[in-house]
Amino acid sequence: MFKIGCHLSIANGFLKAGKTITELGGNTFQYFSRNPQGGKARPWDQGDFDSFMEYASQIGIEGLLCHAPYTLNACSANPQTRDFARMVFKSDIEMLEHFPNALYNFHPGSHTGQGVEVGIGQIVEILNEVIYPEMKTTILLETMAGKGSEIGRSFEELAEIISRVHHKEKLGVCLDTCHVYSAGYDIVNDLDGVLEEFDAIIGLERLKAIHLNDSMMPFASNKDRHAKIGEGTLGKEAIIRIINHPKLKDLPFYLETPNEDEGYKAEIELLKNHRAK
Ligand code: FE
Ligand code: FE
Ligand code: ZN
């Protein structure tokens, strides 16, 4: 089955977002756990959650991906920012444990001048604090473009974080197509080679989700600007190869393209039409 969806707001609840993704032709979606630029979480609404779960099982929606707020930075030089990251992790995981097999995606962080090694150490420390043995949620590290002091611009950096976390069975990776291309992984001309490299360094079994985006910026630019499918430097053909690649085709794909609902609907339809039968 082709698992395809886009980023949606849950400001009006999970059930509303579930109905929206059905209208847009998708069967999964990504949402922010809380205001992406802030910190306050929505109060938990058990009634909405129960109605959503019932609707999702009837319609066949599965594999929601929760995205941590951009303000979560586990490797900031500012200790208060790192404390905020701890708090958000703990409270988001508590919310996600309501779901049977939740996926929680976060940006590894920006070391803000401390250097990659110090940054990785701080990310590992926080992950080791917030992950507990009974946790059912899988935490995904997102591949980053490498702007500024971003960590996660290379497969090696992600592999090092994973290797130092005690409960590494709770960790996975979300590959963002715009970000990896900007980071210098040529998924347009050498998708097989990039996936072989991913497998050798991280292990393809860790790959749990794809952020499917075109890019406004050139290859290896370390810039992070998403474009609509077919309107950027990756191009439609490369994106169609990605959704049909034997090693990727069973993963969930989430569009984070600059679109309103109508644009997402058109992209989902385009991708479904180009999905190999
Ligand atoms: Fe992201
Ligand atoms: Fe992304
Ligand atoms: Zn991005």
Structural tokens at position 254 = 């989430």
**Cα-to-centroid distance, 46 and ligand 3 (Å):** 31
Cβ(103)–Cβ(62) under 8 Å?
Answer: no
Q: What is the pLDDT of residue 42?
A: 87
**Cα-to-centroid distance, 143 and ligand 1 (Å):** 8
**Cα-to-centroid distance, 143 and ligand 2 (Å):** 8
Report the DSSP pairing between strands 226-227 and 214-215.
antiparallel
In 84-157, at which residue ranges do the beta strands (DSSP E only) sit?
A: 103-106, 109-110, 138-142, 150-151
Cβ(6)–Cβ(259) under 8 Å?
Answer: yes
- pLDDT bucket at 248, cuts 50 / 70 / 90: very high
**Considering the entire predicted model, what is its pTM?**
0.98
- pLDDT bucket at 86, cuts 50 / 70 / 90: very high
State the Cα torsion 235-237-241-242 to the nearest 10°. 20
In the chain, at which residue ranges do the beta strands (DSSP E only) sit?
A: 4-7, 28-32, 65-67, 103-106, 109-110, 138-142, 150-151, 171-176, 207-212, 214-215, 226-227, 253-255
Residues 114-169: tens digit of each pLDDT = 999 999 999 999 999 999 999 999 999 999 999 999 999 999 999 999 999 999 99
Q: What is the pLDDT of residue 65?
A: 98
Helix intervals (H) in 131-209? 155-164, 177-182, 191-201
**Cα-to-centroid distance, 11 and ligand 3 (Å):** 21
- pLDDT bucket at 40, cuts 50 / 70 / 90: confident
Identify the burial level of 1 via C-beta atoms within 10 angstroms of its C-beta, where 0-12 means exposed, 13-18 middle and 19 or more buried: exposed
User: At which residue do the structure tokens 């951009």 appear?
Assistant: 70
**Cα-to-centroid distance, 107 and ligand 1 (Å):** 6
DSSP secondary structure letter of residue 232: S
Its sign, for the CA torsion 171, 92, 26, 54, is positive
Ion ligand 1 residue ranges (Cβ < 5 Å): 142
Q: What is the average per-residue pLDDT within 221-228?
A: 98
